[in-house]
Structure 1
Amino acid sequence: MDSSNHRKGIRPRTGCDARSTVCAARVMLTISHARLDYPKHKAFDNFTLAVKPGEMVSIIGKSGCGKTSLLYAIAGLLPLSKGTVSLTGGAEACSIMFQQDRLLPWKTVLGNVLLGLTKESVGQAEMLLDRMGLYGHMKKYPQQLSGGEKQRVALVRSLVRNPRLLLLDEPLAALDEQNRELLQQEIKEFVVTKGITMVMVTHSIQEAIFMGSRILVMESDGIRFETENPYHKAGDLRSRNEFFALEKVLRAQLGGPA
């Protein structure tokens, strides 16, 4: 990724965000009045957001509202048509984990994780693979792995660069419920422990609640609704009444049955 803060749509932060009382010095990511257009349609417009260091933001919304396009714009993979994205440390400070694992079939697990990195990163890669239960799979190829194992490799590949900001584009959508919940827990524990800032896009309301300290409902014209999640770090979150109450609120905001 281009490490410059001066790409189209990206500029160094100055002062405070127009819609936030959080000073720029305490903000990891600032998006201001952002719009992204494709040749034949608008992806999203008028999106403004400030994310503090260590915050975990979940974004939900109906299909086609621009969630994935927003993540790509934050990562510098798509240029904005209007507005700005400002990221502490520039684009090199963030890693993105995609919906598909995007592993290269001709490279081993370790080779995929170290793609583009130097030998100095081998120790960090091995440590992360061990943490994800993949130490014994380092010499295997992607076609020898299960779906859950492939996504763990993709996660390690995103984390080995020690990102300040982790972007997650529905990376667990294709997994069965058991593997999905296990990987949710692993990601959450690692991100919280390391103090990584996270922005996650998901179609799952329950996943958004479990993963996010703040939850946004996105529309193509900006943020429809947002709420803090004070129970984010509760060990029994999935079984708490507050979990289901928040799910009901978010489902209503999305226009689904209460």
Structure 2
Amino acid sequence: MPEPTTRDHGVGLELSGLTKRYGAATVLDGVDLSVAPGEFMTLLGPSGSGKTTTLNMIAGFVEPDAGQIHMGDTPLVGLPAHKRDIGVVFQHYALFPHMRVDANVAFPLRQRRVPKAEAARTVSEMLDVVGLGHLARRYPRELSGGQQQRVALARALVFRPRLLLLDEPLGALDKRLRETLQMEIKRIHREVGVTFVFVTHDQEEALVLSDRIAVFNEGRIEQVGTAQDLYERPRTLFAAEFLGDSNVLRGRVRSADGGVVELDCDGLAVTAPGTAAVGGTAAVVLRPERVTVLDADAQPPAGHNHLDGIVDDVVYLGGRRRLLVGCPGRTMLVDEMAPRRGLTPGEPVRLCWAAVAGTVVAGDPAPATPEPTRAVAV
């Protein structure tokens, strides 16, 4: 098997108008998505958002009610799963317990009637890629969870598919092992050059692994982009709040001129870059690390938005400190990466942020009952 060192081996994937219904429930509603050859694309969203159904349609386990799937120039709809030549890795390793590691990895080659000598060489090379060459003669029961998942990954890649589908493959692992395997998967992707489509509900995992991310919500894609695009420039409130923690300031649009919007958020004037219709409703999304904490009587820099409040809680998170600041009608989250001084609950403070620190997205009017912007997610 030639050494896979470039992304030339990957294949493009095109989803057009994918729709799936189960009775009266629409699980997928006209999903369109383009994946470039060799790309690491992550489908991110909560349970029931349609991401796994999309993956199962690509794999051939579920047929769409409408729409098309093309892998390169090959139409996949109607083609049996075993003829699609796609690798699949599941959350549960699905290894054969009675077979050694090398036999598990060799299984797809045996199904394809690859000569024994060639299969042995290919299995050895792939086990080296996933760092398990020294465990080839062990059985699955003798391996850790992380090692078993790497065997499953080797088995899915050993026949050199041009597309690999991964359905929450790290979901059953503890946090430390999951983080280690994230970096392993990223390395393997670079090394083998195969197109990866990865499903997860873990936003941090998506940020770490992906070239691009498709955010799913209720059977539709809310936004597709790089991790930085989605985090810095979310287009919808759902995308903003699902990918990272956010302060959401809802209000009515007072003015919109030159790419700068001013909102009236219950008497608080807030400006941010974006577009919106004057008189309509919108929201400013502000990440916690973009907010600066000042003394209660300090003058904010010119052109900055500011808001007064009382510190409700202080949470130490190692490399950062999270503040919950109670303000009129809302609770603000603030992340200080280098805390300037000790703050205690009950202390009055002034929060400020540059206009360019926020992003305007379409939004609904503020809730009738004030509530925290978001739970203290860490």
Q: Which of 61, 78, 88 is 1:96 aligned to? A: 88
Relative distance call for 1:133 and 1:108 in structure 2 (3 A) is same
Secondary structure of the structure 1 residue equivalent to 2:27: strand
2:167 alignment partner, one of 166, 169, 173: 169
State the structure with more CA Rg: 2
**Offset at residue 121 of structure 1 (A):** 2.2
* Count of matched residue pairs: 221
Q: Where does the alignment leave 5 or more consecutive residues of structure 2 unmatched?
A: 1-9, 77-82, 247-378
Distance 1:250 1:157, change over 3 A: farther
2:31 aligns to what SS in structure 1?
strand
Alpha-carbon distance change, 243 to 210 in structure 1, aligned in 2, over 3 angstroms: farther
Which of 7, 28, 32 matches 1:48?
Answer: 32
CA RMSD, 1 decimal: 2.7
- Higher mean C-alpha deviation, range 34-43 or range 130-139: 34-43
Matched, 1:108 2:100: yes
Partner of 2:368: none
SS in 1 for 2:84: helix
Contact map agreement 1:32 1:83 (CA 8 A) in 2 = yes
Structure with greater proportional helix content? 1
Relative CO higher for 1 or 2, CA cutoff 8 Å, sep ≥ 6?
1
**Greater percentage in strand:** 2
Instruction: Report the TM-score when normalising by structure 1.
Output: 0.77
2:203 to 202, 205, 222: 205
Picking from 74, 77, 81, the partner of 2:58 is: 74
Give the corresponding residue for 1:20: none
- Partner residue in 1 for 2:138: 140
CA distance in 1 between counterparts of 2:244 and 2:178 reads 23
CA distance in structure 2 between the aligned counterparts of 1:246 and 1:132, rounded to whole angstroms: 35
- Secondary structure of 1:102's aligned partner: coil
Moved segments of 4+, more than 3 Å: 38-42, 89-93, 242-247
The CA deviation string for residues 23-58 of structure 1, in whole angstroms up to 9 with x for no partner, is xxx971111100123357432121011111121111
Once residues 24 and 154 of structure 2 are traced to their aligned partners in structure 1, the CA distance between those partners, rounded to angstroms, is: 36
Seen in structure 2, the aligned counterparts of structure 1 residues 257 and 130 have a Cα distance that, compared at 3 Å, is closer
Take 1:197 and 1:93, find their aligned partners in 2: how far apart are those partners? 13
Q: How does 1:1-258 map to 2 (within 5 A)?
A: 28-38=12-22, 41-88=25-72, 92-117=84-109, 118=114, 119=116, 120-229=118-227, 252-254=240-242, 257-258=245-246
- Normalising to structure 2: TM-score of the pair? 0.53
CA distance in 2, matches of 1:211, 1:157: 21
